[in-house]
Structures are given as structure tokens and as C-alpha cells.
Amino acid sequence: MKKTFLVLLFCCVEVFAQQDAQFTQYMYNTININPAYAGSRGVMSIFGLYRTQWVGLDGAPETSSFSVNSPVGNNVGLGVSLINDKIGPTSENNLAIDFSYTIPASETAKLSFGIKASGNLFNLDPNKLTPEDQGDPQFQNFRNKFTPNIGAGIYWHTDVAYVGLSVPNFIQTEYYNDNDVAIYEDQINYYIIAGYVFDVGRYETVKFKPAILIKMVEGSPLQVDASANFMFSEKFLIGVSYRWSASVSALAGFQITDSIYLGYAYDLETTRLVNYNSGSHEIFLRFEFVSS
């Protein structure tokens, strides 16, 4: 029997509440959830990520992300990002432009404020529904549905610590069938992110980098991601991550050159879904214009 869990889930409920795309390596992909992050690294940063979730399960999420952000002028940061997210018979493309403004918070800390303007293109492919639903008129009018949105965030950071609070989308979007019943919703997502870098050992060649991401969505359980990573000689990183009541992950990273960083994560479910898939894979590449 084919594993059509997600497609069946979509077709059997009147309201499908969609959260933002999730990432295990959120500490490197902060621009997608917090516009105040734009330009905070002090150099132009180009980032590309691919994630395939619940491998072996038909209709499972598949996400691609690409972003560029950079400081421009005094205290200003700009960024642009594109996310393609596929789940079952649906596909979404989200294009966002981020603006940030940074002020000194102390001798060592900065406080950034950000605004995100985005547009979302939503598609539902009836050919990917179960055969009995493919001809249903209520599923025929959801191609290239465009919706604008706006979000905001704040981001406090030093060389070794950061804390952010953000709402990427303030507008809750609903898609209706012919009976004015919402069959698909983009919910408002609230994020808190934080991290710190500790020097370990006498010669500071080992660094301990814990991080946490808290995600709140109305109608869904609180999602907490906690990670613990160790970096060796600023070149190699290894760590673990735990998503509360959902999955456990292994992470690895390689600083290939001063400009290029490669990261990988493997997620293993801790729910009953573990019986229907072989885990999730996430890989990213970051290139930064670092001066020599």
C-alpha cells in the first residue's frame, strides 16, 4: 500500500492549518524568520538550503531556500529571500525583502529592528489528490493564488550571544472553497531565538554553541528546538538537536574556506511517524565575502 498519509490528511479535513517551513539548522537560516538579522554578520552573506523531510512518505514536505543579505551604508541592512515549500498536493513560493536598522545597545552589543515585506504564491494540484477528489470543484480554483504579507522582528546581538523575537507574517491568509469554508490557512507564527558561544579549554580551540528556537502557532502545540554544538579550531562542527516531542537530530558543519561553510543535519522522528519514513535530510551552503 502506498504511504499517502499527508495527502489523505489534506483531503479529509475542512481546514488545513499550515505553519511556516521548519529548519533544523535554524541558527544559520535566521533571515527567513527574522528580518532584523539582515546585515548583522557585517558582510554580504549568500545562503542556499535544501531539506527533504520524512523520506519515503508520499507527499512529505520538501523545502528549498535561497537568501542574500548584507549591510548597506551606516546601520542599515538589506536582504532578499526565496522559499519553495511543497507538501502533498500543495506548493508555495514565498519571496521576501528584509530591511533592518541597527543601533548600539552597549559597548559590545547591538540592537536591530527589522521589517519584512513578502508575497506568497499558492498552488494546489488536483492531479495529486486521491482519484475520488480530483474532479471535486472545490479543489479546482487554487492555482497561483497570490497574497501579500508583512512582518517584523528585533534582534539583540554581540560577538558571542544573540536573542531575537519575530513575527514573519502578521496577516493570516485563508483560502476558501465554493461554500466559503476555509480549507487551507497560513497561520501567524511567532518566534523566539537565542544562542551563545562559550570558549572551552585553555587555548580556546574548542567552542560550545548552544541555541534554542521557540515557535508558537495558534491551534498547534508549542514547538521548541534546542541544539548543542561543538566547534573545533573554527573549522569543524558537530552537535545534536532535539525538537520537543517530534525528533532528534545530528548536525555537522565544515568551514571549507574563510568564505565557504557547509552544513548538514539528519533528523530521526520520535513519534509514530518513525514507522513510515527513513528520516529527514537538510544540507546548506553559505558563501560570505570575507576580506582577506
Q: What pLDDT does residue 232 have?
A: 95
- Supply φ then ψ for residue 39, to 5 degrees: 80, 0
* Residue-wise pLDDT tens digits, 281-292: 999 999 999 876
- The pLDDT value given to residue 16: 45
**What whole-number distance in Å separates Cα of residue 7 and Cα of residue 170?**
28
Within a 10 A sphere around the Cβ of 236, how many other Cβ atoms? 12
Q: Where are the domains of the chain?
A: 5-288
Three cell numbers, residue 273: 511517524
Cα–Cα distance for residue pair 223/209, rounded to 1 Å: 20
CA atoms within 13 A on the CB side of 37: 28
Q: What is the 3-state secondary structure (H, E, C) of 151-198?
A: EEEEEEECCCEEEEEEECCCCCEEEECCCCCEEEEECCEEEEEEEECE
Over residues 43-65, the pLDDT tens digits come to: 999 999 999 999 999 889 999 99
Q: Which residues contact 105 (CB under 8 A, 6 or more apart)?
A: 111, 156
**CA distance linking residue 163 with residue 196, whole number of Å:** 9
- Classify residue 16 as exposed, middle or buried by CB count within 10 Å of its CB (0-12, 13-18, 19+): middle
Mean pLDDT over all residues of the chain? 87
Cβ atoms of 249 and 243 closer than 8 Å = yes
> pLDDT digit string (tens) for 70-86?
999 889 999 999 999 99
Look at strands 182-186 and 17-18 and give their pairing.
Answer: parallel
Residue 12 has pLDDT above 90, yes or no: no
Q: Would you give the distance in Å from CA 283 to the centre of its chain?
A: 13
Q: Is the pLDDT of residue 4 over 80?
A: no
What band does 10 get if pLDDT is binned at 50, 70 and 90? very low
CB 64 within 8 Å of CB 47? no
Tens digits of residue pLDDT in 256-284: 999 999 999 999 999 999 999 999 999 99
Q: Which residue has the higher pLDDT, 18 or 49?
A: 49
pLDDT in tens, 139-187: 555 677 899 999 999 999 999 999 999 999 999 877 665 566 555 667 8
Beta-carbon contacts of 273 under 8 Å, excluding residues fewer than 6 positions away, are 5, 54, 57
pLDDT of 225-256, one tens digit each? 999 999 999 999 999 999 999 999 999 999 99
Binned at pLDDT 50, 70 and 90, residue 3 comes out as: very low
Q: Which CATH class name applies to 5-288?
A: mainly beta
Strands 198-200 and 206-217: antiparallel
Assess whether pLDDT exceeds 80 at residue 114: yes
**In this structure, how many other beta carbons lie within 10 angstroms of the beta carbon of residue 218?**
11
